[in-house]
């Protein structure tokens, strides 16, 4: 077999990974990055556990964290906006 044939120049597949902080929240906000400056968090899913999802940095400054119960999150940050 000739070393210059196309089959001899195969390359290994390339895998890439990108970490986008608060990606789910950004998607739910419709890409409105300016809303990330407000205290917002992903609302609990209907019929699911009453816990908040990802939260903005402004909400985290009040102590709101993903997985926190909704009532506790609202007690820590009464102005918390819930994003469906």
For the residues 7-23, what does the mean pLDDT come to? 87
- 18-22, 42-46, 61-65: range with lowest mean pLDDT: 18-22
The answer to whether 64 and 73 are in contact (CB under 8 A) is yes
pTM score, two decimals?
0.75
**Domain locations in the chain?**
22-83
CA 17/CA 84 separation, integer angstroms:
27
Alpha carbons within 13 A on the beta-carbon side of 29: 23
Supply the pLDDT for residue 61.
98
Quick one: pLDDT at residue 1? Answer: 52
| Residue 28, H or E segment | helix 23-28
Query: CA torsion angle for 75, 76, 80, 82 (degrees, to 10)?
Result: -70
Q: Which CATH number fits domain 22-83: 3.10.20.30, 3.40.470.10, 3.40.1170.60, 3.30.1950.10?
A: 3.40.1170.60
């Amino acid at each position: 077999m000739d070393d210059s044939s196309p089959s001899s120049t195969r390359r290994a597949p390339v895998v890439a990974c990108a970490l986008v902080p608060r990606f789910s929240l950004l998607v739910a906000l419709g890409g409105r990055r300016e809303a990330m400056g407000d205290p917002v968090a992903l609302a609990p899913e209907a019929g699911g556990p009453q816990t908040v999802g990802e939260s903005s940095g402004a909400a985290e400054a009040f102590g709101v964290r993903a997985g926190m119960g909704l009532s506790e999150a609202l007690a820590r940050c009464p102005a918390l906006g819930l994003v469906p």
